[in-house]
Amino acid sequence: MRKTTLLKSLIARPEILVMPGAYDPISARLVEAAGFEAIQCTGLGITAATLGLPDFSVLGMSDMAARTAHIVRATGLPVMADGDNGFGNAVNTFLAVQEFEAGGAAGINLEDQQMPKRCGHLSGKQIISAAEMVQKIRAATEARSDRDFVINARTDSLAIGGIAEVIRRGNAYMEAGATMVFVDGADSAETIARLVDEIRGPLAVNMVEGGKTPRGLTVERLQALGVARVSLPLTAILAAVEGMKRALSKLRTSGDPASYDADLAGFDELHSLMGMDRVREMEQRYATGAEKSSATGL
């Protein structure tokens, strides 16, 4: 089954699809190793890991598509790209969908924020008109070569226009050809329940630790509410930052690597994640007779 078709079917099934965020190939492989079924690229995470800057439209389409393609190649799971706001107008959106699809992504997030966009759980967002976003979605659907390539239409209108505006936009985006509607910054179970009832298509939300996600809102609860997909874009990068802080602090304090041994992955585990076992197998397969004898000590 094509990854696009697989991702679309995972969204359509009754069981909720949980998509942790990946920001590089190693985090993608860890998501896969943990047993999840699909990966959400995190634009915030990719921008932070690449430039050390906020998610503020500082990485362009080509850079984001290239980093997404690296993630795609690192895993067997379907990968949803983060297409920001299409990197411009409807024409830019058309070209972005072609670029991400060519890189192997199974779908793309497209949001209705103005440039420069920002993390959906921060204040100060501005949104484009619903009519302009509808044209972007039309362009996205016409740009894809695979009709199962997922168009995830994100709206950031909840904090600006309220729930009625979210519902109006969500239904307009579905009518324009979106696969599902992603409401960012959903702030209560009651809000989510109403969105599920009144948006005529699959609903996606996200859970951001430290953001607007309500405490106590679990995947199980979202499943009961009827949510089709939930992404957790920052779990991996927040865990990585905390782990690095802890180990480096202990190194600075004690100067003894043994003091933070429990905070580290194994040396061999890292090499396994990087694919070193396959490299060694290939070295043996393509080695000359002399090289094989040297490697085995004969």
Of the chain, the end-to-end C-alpha distance in Å amounts to 46
> What pLDDT is stored for residue 187 in this prediction?
87
**pLDDT band at residue 117, thresholds of 50, 70 and 90?**
confident
> What pLDDT is stored for residue 229 in this prediction?
98
Q: What span, in angstroms and rounded, lies between the C-alpha atoms of 204 and 154? A: 9
Categorise residue 176: left if φ over 0, alpha if ψ from -120 to 50, beta otherwise: alpha
**pLDDT band at residue 298, thresholds of 50, 70 and 90?**
very low
Which residue type occupies 3? K
> What pLDDT is stored for residue 297 in this prediction?
46
Q: What span, in angstroms and rounded, lies between the C-alpha atoms of 245 and 171? A: 44
Q: What span, in angstroms and rounded, lies between the C-alpha atoms of 227 and 230? A: 7
Radius of gyration of the CA atoms of the chain, in A: 21
Which residue type occupies 93? T
Q: What span, in angstroms and rounded, lies between the C-alpha atoms of 272 and 268? A: 6
Categorise residue 288: left if φ over 0, alpha if ψ from -120 to 50, beta otherwise: beta
Looking at domain 3-233, does it have CATH number 3.60.20.10?
no
Note the pLDDT tens digit of each residue in 176-227: 999 999 999 998 999 999 999 999 999 999 999 988 788 889 999 999 999 9
Evaluate if residue 241 carries a pLDDT over 90: yes
- Where along the chain do its domains lie? 3-233, 265-296
Which residue type occupies 39? I
> What pLDDT is stored for residue 260 in this prediction?
94
DSSP assignment string, the chain: --HHHHHHHHHHSSSPEEEEEESSHHHHHHHHHTT-S-EEE-HHHHHHHHHS--SSS-S-HHHHHHHHHHHHHH-SS-EEEE-TTTTSSHHHHHHHHHHHHHTT-SEEEEE-BPSSP--TTSS---B--HHHHHHHHHHHHHH-SSTTSEEEEEE--HHHH-HHHHHHHHHHHHHTT-SEEEETT---HHHHHHHHHHSSS-EEEE--TTTTPPTT--HHHHHHHT-SEEEETTHHHHHHHHHHHHHHHHHHHH--GGGGGGGS--HHHHHHHTTHHHHHHHHHHH--HHHHHHHHT-
> Regarding predicted confidence, which is higher, 214 or 297?
214
How does the average pLDDT of the chain come out, rounded? 94
Average pLDDT, stretch 106-125?
82
Q: Which of 17, 67, 81, 76 is nearest to 231 (CA)?
A: 17
> What pLDDT is stored for residue 256 in this prediction?
94
**pLDDT band at residue 290, thresholds of 50, 70 and 90?**
low
Q: Within 13 A of 174's CA, how many CA atoms are on the CB side?
A: 17
